[in-house]
Amino acid sequence: MIQQLILIAALVAPIPPGAAPGMPDLSPGALRLVRDLKANLLSVDRGGNLWAWESGSGRVALYGPTGIALSSVGVGSSAAVAADREWGVAALSPNGRELRLVPWAGTPSSISMDNDVRSVAWIDQNTIAVAPALAARRVEIWDLRAKKRIREIGAELPLVPGEGVTRLRTIALHYAPERDLLYTLDSYTGDLQVYGMDGRLVRREAVPIHDRTDLDDWLAGWDRDDRAKHQTDTPTIWRLLLAFDSSANLWVVAACEKGKALLFRMPPAGKAETATVDVDPACCSVGATIWQDSLILYHQPERPLCNVVRRITVHLQLDRLLPQL
């Protein structure tokens, strides 16, 4: 028996009032939207539009900077999605073996994947990046017109599921067109690798994560039980996500424990930094993105609604994050 487990953990709770008073610079409509939005994943496309994927309904919705709904489309049951206002939605089938290309209006198409892939990102209208879960490479680049893999980027140890538990590799992806760089983050280990599109590794960092001993012990126990029963399981565990502001700074909410949230920030050039801020456990979130330089902390649809918005300054001074709405 093969089961799929999606676990998103160790994210951030609300950030406390800082030195600068005032409200986030989102429009009233955008503020109402993000306060009330329920989604399994929120992200922002290259045009600054917010998109939301709700896995239960299988729909992806797109919103403009003022919070106005621009479009919505059903993509069915999916393992991961990526959206763009012009190019539509790229969605992976639950088993990671099919890439579905779903326009906002028009006829969908699909491409068979050579491997089980677990994440996807748009590069351009005709190019997609995907991250294999088992293969001996970190990223694959696919030509959508030719429907074939055209490049392999990064090396990984291949995984071969057998009796017991094999945790599938989960690599969060983001392409930065202004610098022609592909950001790749191992969501479980915090290994951050940045590549040029020629496959050259240009930067590597370790995102600090909280002690995952409990999670590792749980997986080890599950593995022992499966081996005793001659069963096979391949869980998919997401822990860390990528977010970017308008100055091309990368942010990761690395951990949230004991009333403290750990934020990792890496500028386009220069030293990566971390900062610890106090949190309110009452609204601890399971996801984060940045929209118009406002940090949005959101909940999975099955959780109580308690989304939080914080404004970050252009220079990203953490002591100037604005109070909760």
Q: What is the structure's pLDDT at 18?
A: 32
pLDDT band at 23 (very low <50, low <70, confident <90, very high): very low
- Torsion sign across C-alpha atoms 142, 121, 239, 320: positive
Q: How far apart are CA 321 and CA 295, in angstroms?
A: 9
R_g (Cα) of the chain, nearest Å: 19
Classify residue 10 as exposed, middle or buried by CB count within 10 Å of its CB (0-12, 13-18, 19+).
buried
Q: Could you read off the pLDDT of 74-100 as tens digits, one per residue?
A: 999 999 999 999 999 999 999 999 999
Q: How far apart are CA 132 and CA 168, in angstroms?
A: 9
Q: What is the structure's pLDDT at 284?
A: 67
On average, the pLDDT of the chain sits at 85
Least confident of 4-8, 148-152, 228-232: 4-8
Q: What is the structure's pLDDT at 184?
A: 98
Q: What is the structure's pLDDT at 253?
A: 84
Q: How far apart are CA 245 and CA 252, in angstroms?
A: 11
Instruction: Give me the DSSP letters along 88-151.
Output: EEEEE-TTS-EEEEE-SSS--EEEE-SS-EEEEEEEETTEEEEEESSSSEEEEEEETTTTEEEE
Contacts 24+ apart (CB under 8 A), 303-312: 305/36, 305/38, 306/282, 307/34, 307/35, 307/36, 307/37, 307/283, 308/14, 308/15, 308/283, 309/24, 309/26, 309/31, 309/34, 309/35, 310/14, 310/15, 310/24, 311/22, 311/23, 311/24, 311/25, 312/245
Residue among 196, 200, 194 at smallest CA distance from 272: 194
Q: What is the structure's pLDDT at 313?
A: 52
pLDDT band at 24 (very low <50, low <70, confident <90, very high): low
Least confident of 115-119, 199-203, 295-299: 295-299
Cα atoms in the 13 Å half-sphere on the side-chain side of 45: 26
Cα atoms in the 13 Å half-sphere on the side-chain side of 303: 20
Q: What is the structure's pLDDT at 54?
A: 95
Q: Could you read off the pLDDT of 114-156 as tens digits, one per residue?
A: 999 999 999 999 999 999 999 999 999 999 999 999 999 999 9
What does the block give as tokens for 227?
Answer: 């081996």
Q: How far apart are CA 39 and CA 93, in angstroms?
A: 18
Q: How far apart are CA 118 and CA 283, in angstroms?
A: 28
Q: Which domains does the chain have, with CATH numbers?
A: 6-17+29-243 (2.40.128.630)
Q: How far apart are CA 74 and CA 96, in angstroms?
A: 18
Q: What is the structure's pLDDT at 212?
A: 80
Q: How far apart are CA 45 and CA 112, in angstroms?
A: 25
% pLDDT > 90, the chain: 65
How far from 58 is each of 96, 100, 120, 140, CA to CA, in Å? 16, 13, 16, 25
- Torsion sign across C-alpha atoms 153, 46, 18, 260: negative
96 phi/psi in degrees, rounded to 5: 70, 15
